[in-house]
Chains A and B, each alone.
Chain A
Amino acid sequence: MPNMSLKKNEMPSQEPHIRSQNFKEVALGYTAEQAVDEAKRCLNCKNRPCVGGCPVNILIPDFIAKMAEGDFEGAYQVIAQSSALPAVCGRVCPQESQCEKYCVRGVKGEPVAIGRLERFAADWHNAHAAEAPARPRPNGHRVAVVGSGPSGLTCAGDLARLGYEVTVFEALHTAGGVLVYGIPEFRLPKAIVQKEIDGLKAMGVKIETNMVIGRALSIDELLEDGFEAVFIGSGAGLPRFMNIPGENLKGVYSANEFLTRVNLMKAYQPGSDTPIQRARRVAVVGGGNVAMDAARCAKRLGAEEVYIVYRRSEAELPARAEEVEHAKEEGVVFKLLNNPTKILGDEAGAVCGMECLEMELGEPDASGRRRPVEKAGSEFALDLDCVIMAIGTSPNPLIKSTTAGLETQKWGGIIVNEETGLTSRPNVYAGGDAVTGAATVILAMGAGKTAARAIHQQLNG
């Protein structure tokens, strides 16, 4: 008997005024009753458009059907056929533009809460799974993976399951990539990421941290050293700045720096040795998930006023809908159709404010979004002591500059065959943000799976 409620089951969450003072997870997860009730909203419709909306084509109605029966482990197993990181994706996927966008329940009311159900199934499995999967028998082939973010971890996992001896090289001192340095604890608990990594290690994957490929070892050296294929999942970690006056004042951060100090180095915790400015009045420039994350972290560090300054309007904000909603609930002030022109400093060289202009939307630009146009004479200033630039990142040029024959786009994205992830160098594959520029965890994961499949095809005939 389907549940004909037009609304999703509400996600239990920490109250905004409480959660904006701590780094604990905001969304607490459905109860089993809620999960079953929500699963029954799915009509198991004939066309299943949700499956096509998923970048890795999870058999959504099948996993939901299991959930409706209370077979949560069974639901997890369905998801795990297609996804390597369900506990992560259930939390961070922009479902509103993927699976849930196409759900037929969304025509009259709200779509089925597919993301929340995926999260529930994954969390259930992690809490109740019997023992670690058996270590596969080695097939004698060795593969190197560069980067331990979502695409690298996925590629490593899929290959390890097939018996490959995989070594993952990570530049930072902890594995996880953007899952640990970028996405905050209150959106994605690091214990979940650690569980994924431990799972890989249990399957025999070796993770070497503090290894910068392109410095300690080049891709060519990896191949010479006996790795038969290399997967590049080095991400898009190079921060973009606006190049406006005052951008090098004390108190101006790239979002990467700010988030790395807070998330990876845990600067918000008293025991951490890493400093972070406890700013009172913060402006975050940008409108994506990274901007939301930075703003919400700044709030949690005790800022009285946190602004999001974005040059287009609400409709164009690229951030995940839930992050925007949560940010607003937590008191982040959205200054939309505003663009900074200059950052102001005091005699000590520290930020004391930012000048902005109002914008209006004109014709669409190359991205298809309406281009922001300056409104003459609309200058105003914000009183601030910290500015965080969250206007995008691009691939780090280190790999390209140390790998002869590796073709990239002008902006740095590695060029690959879409079906296989193969680059212009034989035996060298790439995927994730290193190819597409900053995108999503699920796309990165999908690329890791594609490459693993192609590598397996290549090495095992």
Chain B
Amino acid sequence: MQGKGPALSYLCVKVVKPLYRIVKKKPLNPTVTWMDVEAPAVARKAEPGQFIILRVDENGERIPLTVAGFDREAGTVTIIFQIVGATTEKLNRKQEGEFIQDFVGPLGVPTHTQDLEKVAVVGGGVGCAIAYPVAKKLYQQGCQIHSIVGFRSKELVILEEEFAAASTKFCKMSDDGSWGEKGLVTDALRRLIESGERYDRVIAIGPLIMMKFVTKLTKEFNIPTTVSMNPIMIDGTGMCGGCRLSLIQNGQRVTKFACVDGPDFDGFEVDFDEAMARSAMYRDFERHAHEEACNLFRGGKV
């Protein structure tokens, strides 16, 4: 879509909505993009931990992305996404001033931030974009935040300054040692815990395998742990069950919907192996679709 939309009143209830305008766009690293999208209805209510669902165009699939920030006055919502498939590829091709077809939210239950005094926030890769608003909110509330942030290598680092500014202690980890210390976020977390740090809660957000291993660690020390689940979603409002995951509570398997019961869950209860299997459901389709999308752009057809 070209051109700018009509002037918007932010009293979204009274005005028929145009499409959602991209107000700002910047690359954070070669595969991660920051976007501010004009969506007043969402910006009014969004809280850290919640997410939106968007469609890039009329044939688009619905995908969830976490709210990385919001400006209630400007009526904009920040999304930070990694370009991993056809839809994020198409999204990344949109420029400032262009429009997204659909943008709905805020969905999910906001992260619980009451009664916390000292928290370890563990962010992995692009999961840091999701962890950051939570860390920021807690830090602004006066909570002591120990942030442990890990990336594969220096080129992939995002939000370094922002995270540092919202942390009492900031540990930088990289797989190859090119940024901060060489090692895994779990190494850093273990070290802190074993050196005597007492956390009210650990909040871990990142790839499923990372959250699984953080939880394995915190279970040893019985530190309450919140994880943020990111399953495949379709509607995001609880009507399809596509995002379902299992919690093991008192030896019983309980099914929850990440879109309405989550996305935050008690890390000790989550069946990560099942979640990892389920997230690979459309791998072949996704690979094929991503290739097609890239080819379309390369061929200059879009």
Query: Which residues of A does B touch, CB under 8 Å?
Result: 167, 171-173, 206, 208-212, 215-217, 222, 225, 237-239, 241, 243, 247-251, 253-254, 256-257, 260-261, 265-266, 271-275, 277, 348-349, 393, 396-398
| Pairs of residues from A and B, 7 with the lowest C-beta to C-beta distance, nearest first | A349-B277, A237-B239, A257-B240, A210-B104, A173-B102, A275-B282, A275-B285
Chain B 78-119, CB-CB to A under 8 Å as 1, else 0, gives 000000001100000000000001111111000000000000
CB distance from A138 to the nearest CB of B (A): 14
**Nearest A residue (CB) for B255:** A241
A–B pairs, 27, beta carbons within 8 Å:
A171-B104, A210-B17, A210-B41, A212-B237, A215-B105, A216-B45, A217-B45, A237-B239, A238-B238, A241-B255, A248-B246, A248-B255, A248-B274, A250-B280, A254-B240, A254-B241, A256-B239, A265-B61, A272-B61, A273-B87, A273-B289, A274-B62, A275-B281, A275-B285, A396-B238, A397-B260, A398-B238
Q: Is the CB of B244 within 8 A of A217?
A: no
Please measure, in the bound complex, the distance between the C-alpha atom of A277 and the C-alpha atom of B282, giving whole angstroms: 8
Q: Is the CB of A216 within 8 A of B240?
A: no
Q: Is the CB of B237 within 8 A of A171?
A: yes
Q: Is the CB of B42 within 8 A of A238?
A: no
CB-CB contacts below 8 Å: B16-34 with A:
16-17
Q: Is the CB of B241 within 8 A of A257?
A: yes
Interface residues on B, range: 35 or more
Q: Is the CB of B281 within 8 A of A212?
A: no
Q: Is the CB of B16 within 8 A of A206?
A: yes
Q: Is the CB of A253 within 8 A of B242?
A: yes
**Nearest B residue (CB) for A254:** B241
Q: Is the CB of B240 within 8 A of A215?
A: no
Please measure, in the bound complex, the distance between the C-alpha atom of A172 and the C-alpha atom of B239, giving whole angstroms: 11
Residues of A within 8 A of B55 (CB): 173
Q: Tell me if B195 is interfacial: C-beta within 8 Å of chain A.
A: no
Q: Is the CB of A208 within 8 A of B240?
A: no
Please measure, in the bound complex, the distance between the C-alpha atom of A167 and the C-alpha atom of B59, giving whole angstroms: 26
Please measure, in the bound complex, the distance between the C-alpha atom of A98 and the C-alpha atom of B42, giving whole angstroms: 44
Q: Assess A243 versus B255: contact at CB under 8 Å? Given A171-B104, A272-B59.
A: yes
Q: Is the CB of B104 within 8 A of A248?
A: no
Q: Tell me if B60 is interfacial: C-beta within 8 Å of chain A.
A: yes
Residues of B within 8 A of A212 (CB): 104-105, 107, 237
Please measure, in the bound complex, the distance between the C-alpha atom of A173 and the C-alpha atom of B235, giving whole angstroms: 9
Q: Is the CB of A396 within 8 A of B62?
A: no
Q: Tell me if B13 is interfacial: C-beta within 8 Å of chain A.
A: yes
Q: Is the CB of B105 within 8 A of A273?
A: no
- Contact with A260, one of B17, B235, B281 (Cβ below 8 angstroms): B235
**Nearest A residue (CB) for B274:** A248
Query: Which residues of B does A touch, CB under 8 Å?
Result: 12-13, 16-17, 41-42, 44-45, 55, 59-62, 86-87, 101-107, 234-235, 237-242, 244-246, 255, 260, 274, 277-278, 280-282, 285-286, 289
Residues of B within 8 A of A277 (CB): 281-282
Please measure, in the bound complex, the distance between the C-alpha atom of A211 and the C-alpha atom of B104, giving whole angstroms: 7
CB distance from A418 to the nearest CB of B (A): 26
Please measure, in the bound complex, the distance between the C-alpha atom of A173 and the C-alpha atom of B234, giving whole angstroms: 12
Residues of A within 8 A of B105 (CB): 212, 215-216
CB distance from A438 to the nearest CB of B (A): 12
Please measure, in the bound complex, the distance between the C-alpha atom of A396 and the C-alpha atom of B12, giving whole angstroms: 24
**Nearest B residue (CB) for A243:** B255
**Nearest A residue (CB) for B252:** A243
Residues of A within 8 A of B12 (CB): 208, 216
CB distance from B299 to the nearest CB of A (A): 17
- Given A248-B274, A253-B242, 7 extra CB contacts under 8 A: A206-B16, A212-B107, A212-B237, A216-B12, A216-B44, A397-B238, A398-B238
Q: Is the CB of B86 within 8 A of A398?
A: no
CB distance from B6 to the nearest CB of A (A): 15
Please measure, in the bound complex, the distance between the C-alpha atom of A253 and the C-alpha atom of B13, giving whole angstroms: 35
Q: Is the CB of B255 within 8 A of A239?
A: no
Please measure, in the bound complex, the distance between the C-alpha atom of A330 and the C-alpha atom of B290, giving whole angstroms: 35
**Nearest A residue (CB) for B50:** A215
Q: Is the CB of A173 within 8 A of B86?
A: no
Please measure, in the bound complex, the distance between the C-alpha atom of A215 and the C-alpha atom of B246, giving whole angstroms: 24
Q: Is the CB of B61 within 8 A of A209?
A: no
Among the interface residues A171, A206, A210, which one has the most CB atoms of the partner chain B within 10 A? A210
Please measure, in the bound complex, the distance between the C-alpha atom of A248 and the C-alpha atom of B106, giving whole angstroms: 26
Residues of B within 8 A of A239 (CB): 239-241
Residues of B within 8 A of A172 (CB): 235
Residues of B within 8 A of A349 (CB): 274, 277-278
Q: Is the CB of B255 within 8 A of A215?
A: no
Q: Is the CB of B102 within 8 A of A209?
A: yes
Residues of A within 8 A of B244 (CB): 241, 248
Among the interface residues B102, B237, B274, B285, which one has the most CB atoms of the partner chain A within 10 A? B237
Please measure, in the bound complex, the distance between the C-alpha atom of A128 and the C-alpha atom of B3, giving whole angstroms: 38
- Contact with B59, one of A210, A243, A271, A396 (Cβ below 8 angstroms): A271
**Nearest A residue (CB) for B106:** A215
Please measure, in the bound complex, the distance between the C-alpha atom of A217 and the C-alpha atom of B105, giving whole angstroms: 10
Residues of B within 8 A of A171 (CB): 104, 235, 237
CB distance from B286 to the nearest CB of A (A): 7
- Contact with B240, one of A247, A248, A256 (Cβ below 8 angstroms): A256
Please measure, in the bound complex, the distance between the C-alpha atom of A173 and the C-alpha atom of B62, giving whole angstroms: 9
CB distance from B22 to the nearest CB of A (A): 16
CB distance from B226 to the nearest CB of A (A): 21
Please measure, in the bound complex, the distance between the C-alpha atom of A209 and the C-alpha atom of B235, giving whole angstroms: 13
Q: Is the CB of A250 within 8 A of B241?
A: no
Please measure, in the bound complex, the distance between the C-alpha atom of A254 and the C-alpha atom of B241, giving whole angstroms: 6
Residues of B within 8 A of A173 (CB): 55, 62, 101-102, 104
Residues of B within 8 A of A249 (CB): 277
Please measure, in the bound complex, the distance between the C-alpha atom of A356 and the C-alpha atom of B260, giving whole angstroms: 31
CB distance from A159 to the nearest CB of B (A): 17
**Nearest B residue (CB) for A345:** B277
Q: Is the CB of B285 within 8 A of A396?
A: no
Q: Assess A247 versus B255: contact at CB under 8 Å? Given A172-B235, A206-B16, A265-B234.
A: yes
Residues of A within 8 A of B245 (CB): 248
